[in-house]
Structure 1
């Protein structure tokens, strides 16, 4: 539905004559980004088909618009992404870009789209730099800037009376900005950031700093904020499992939506998931989080104006999942948040 709204918005703003086809250039990543490329490609195909046929979108058809799209792999690489953008524009004469998913492509791609005077609507880029409308006048997105998540994180920590936290940050520029913003907002709210560790991949494909960071901090705090991409979140959670930290005594808050099946289905420690008291604690925690969401939603709806590009948006809690992602739904104005707590969690703060 989010893509349907994007297509409808494009049809109302491009200003083509009746009967003209609108070709969209879709940038999707393949390779080391989970199955996001496959899923977005399938969603785009369905969205284009529906918007060309649905009776509820008859206004689009009445204006004579007909949508189609061409996709190219951005590889989450600035060089590859720019090459794909140029190919889509030069060879296929696209009228708008859908994507990219990664900030490394959205940055230079947003500059190019401004020069070409073509809309670029991202479904995944969260860098705060993209909110500068002077530099990126043709860029919009269906997700909130990463720093907007700090309000939600503070709310969760205060709600459960968690006053100490450790931040694990990725090496990328986006996570440096996010970590700095989170640390400032957390400390301003009276929450102590015990340590901040930068973790990255070694040449052998594993992290050389995750285990030492978890070991050094586990006695100082039970709450960890993961400012990391999905592959590193996988490593953190697998390392935590090896260290016996998925027994319900620790909480991991992740800002990454694209997590592997290992993280989303195996965060409970064997032998604990079936305990009735642990399940009861988990249900109570989910009910508390739902109340927290309802309270924030009411405040946000009455005090904030929704802005597709970077405005503050109300939070929507998804239960039974294993991460907290900040994806903004254009159709409802909601940003969905997910918190990673071991499924047998009995943590009380």
Structure 2
């Protein structure tokens, strides 16, 4: 037996250290939850203490004299359940804890974690495509999610002693190959209570199904975008998937926890139909580029919707990668309509408008429409100016073009938000160029997270369960609020009724300017007060639905004078013929009489 002799300073230091440790444990041990295992035995208490990088567990019951710290950045939880009722305390990576009785039956499983300020932490999963150079990838939308999480943690959840923490993952392309696996990791390993993203439709679809099964709310700022070009090769396969997603996402029976915060291509038909009603157009042609995925999906949605409305009279598809005589498509369309929708990528819109100019279709008798969701190189350049010898003709031709776009926010609040996104994007190794706008989808993700925070706040305030995804989702549907992108209206199916702008080309400055809006809430066309539509050819109004002489120029009323002249000419010809015949007969009779008289005289002699 050895005796240790400690000097006074050493003894005092040890005593102070022990006192400080006991005080720290006592101070940090106030986060106590009561658990009632299914066995009905004595409730247990547990406390999580976070100290710096590692999370440790303070044990309050001396019947368990050990602590477990399984890994860095993970929370280990120990129980004060009496040893008589506790057979084992099992830990898994990021999976909380599991109580088991002596028979090995699972009694309770839960994740509970607190931060240093005493807020209970819940994880939310952020799942987006990365490095796609698309307007909805992680590098652009991630900063908006971060900003929104910061706001809802501060404004909505802090009063409830709760904090949301982001768990982030990304996938390389717009497909469903990896997204569901990543979502499963988030659910089982990180115990997320909600999902933010994906944006791409084919990645979103399987994740939304899983989220519904797990009863987790899922928010997206997009939801319509198709897979990458290099992943799809068969057009019929694309269209089949498009049709399936459109049908299933419309009724939401298979995605009851999914909320889409952006626009739905399925509702573009309502925007165009409102324009056609405004100007009394009932015969519409539609030309679709099947080689461009966005043009194809927009075109097919318009074809399906406008055909139901009885507005389509002509539809043609083309392969935009092939050089074709575009004039032929316009000539064919002219036999059925004078209003044409060009669901084409920007470069091809310009070629068609130049062809229309050559055919004399841009002088006011025709009107063309296209879709540019917002200005972005991702959608191709829809401008008339290409820096070539045809710019002057293109500018003139574009006076006959109306453009439908999402209503892009321009208020000071949004500009301040955009400035923050630009700064925070650097943390994602991305820099916005001077010409790139912080687009609508980025704002839609912010509004989606903000709406999720409102739903959490309302649920907690009424004593609800923050893990009840269906209940959380129902609080997000069928409501309106003012978001960073303006007025946000989510319908009773969990889709946003987006607002759109209708623009035409100002012939003076050569720029597209907004002349009308389509408001999703009211679903009607609304002209901008004091703004005049510039109709081509100096016309004061829109071209008629049907030309005066018909699409083929053969209306009877246009041929009245021609028939009169034709019938008059024919009658005059008959009259002349008859007169000639009478004169001829008279002359003939006179000649015969004269000859007879002459012969008589000869005979008398």
Whole-Å separation in 2 of the counterparts to 1:274 and 1:234: 14
Which residue in the other structure is 1:66 paired with? 164
CA distance in 1, matches of 2:167, 2:523: 27
Corresponding residue number in structure 1 for 2:569 = none
In structure 2, C-alpha distance between the alignment counterparts of 1:44 and 1:158, rounded to whole Å: 39
Deviates more, 1:133-142 or 1:263-272: 263-272
Contact 2:171 2:179 in 1 (8 A): yes
Where in structure 2 are the equivalents of 1:1-349 lying within 5 Å?
Answer: 19-28=120-129, 30-31=131-132, 34-37=134-137, 38-53=139-154, 57=155, 59-63=156-160, 64-73=162-171, 75-90=173-188, 92-126=190-224, 127-169=246-288, 178-187=301-310, 191=311, 193-199=312-318, 206=321, 211=326, 213-214=329-330, 216-217=332-333, 220-226=336-342, 232-243=344-355, 250-254=367-371, 256=373, 259-260=376-377, 263-266=381-384, 270-271=391-392, 307=491, 309-310=493-494, 313=497, 315-317=499-501, 319=503, 320=512, 346=536, 348-349=542-543
1:21–1:67: 8 Å Cα contact kept in structure 2?
yes
> Deviation per CA, 1:73-128, whole angstroms, max 9, x where unpaired?
36211214334434444554433222222322222222222223222222222434
Specify the structure having the higher radius of gyration (Cα).
Answer: 2
Cα gap change, 1:74 to 1:139, in 2 (>3 Å): farther
**Which protein has greater RCO, CA pairs closer than 8 Å, 6+ apart?**
1
Q: 1:265 to 1:176 in 2, by over 3 A?
A: closer
**Conserved? CA contact 1:194–1:220, under 8 Å:** yes
Offset, 1:136? 1.4
Give the secondary structure class of the aligned counterpart of 1:182: helix
The aligned residue for residue 293 of structure 1 is none
RMSD: 4.7
Q: Residues 96 and 119 of structure 1 are in contact (CA less than 8 Å); yes or no, is this contact kept in structure 2?
A: yes
Cα pair distance change 1:312/1:72, threshold 3 Å: closer
Distance 2:125 2:380 in 1: 34
Aligned equivalents of 1:336, 1:34: Cα separation in 2: 31
The total of aligned residue pairs comes to 288
1:164–1:103 CA distance, 2 compared to 1 (3 A): same
Inter-partner Cα distance in structure 2 for 1:273 and 1:177: 27
- Larger displacement relative to structure 2 (141-150 or 218-227): 218-227
- Native 8 Å contact 2:341 2:370 kept in 1: yes
Q: Is contact 2:129–2:172 with CA below 8 Å preserved after alignment?
A: yes
- 1: distance between equivalents of 2:216 and 2:170? 17
- Do the aligned partners of 1:327 and 1:336 also contact (CA within 8 Å) in 2? yes
1:289-310 per-residue CA deviation (whole Å, 9 max, x = no partner) reads x9xxxxxxxxxx9xxx952635
**Can you give the 5+ residue segments of structure 1 that lack an aligned partner in the other structure?**
1-15, 291-300
d(CA) in 2 for partners of 1:140, 1:181? 24
SS of the counterpart of 2:128?
strand
Q: Write out per-residue CA displacement over residues 154-182 of structure 1, whole angstroms, 9 at most, x where no aligned residue.
A: 11012123332222346579668624532
TM-score with structure 2 length normalisation? 0.39
**Partner Cα distance (1:92, 1:321) in 2:** 48
Contact persistence 1:121–1:140 (CA under 8 A): yes
Aligned partners of 1:163 and 1:95: how far apart in 2? 49
CA shift digits 1:213-249 (9 cap, x unpaired): 456425643433355xxxx523432432553559685
CA distance in 1, matches of 2:188, 2:518: 34
Q: CA deviation at 1:72?
A: 0.9
Structure 2 residues without counterparts, runs of 5 or longer: 1-111, 114-118, 225-245, 408-479, 481-488, 504-511, 527-532, 544-605
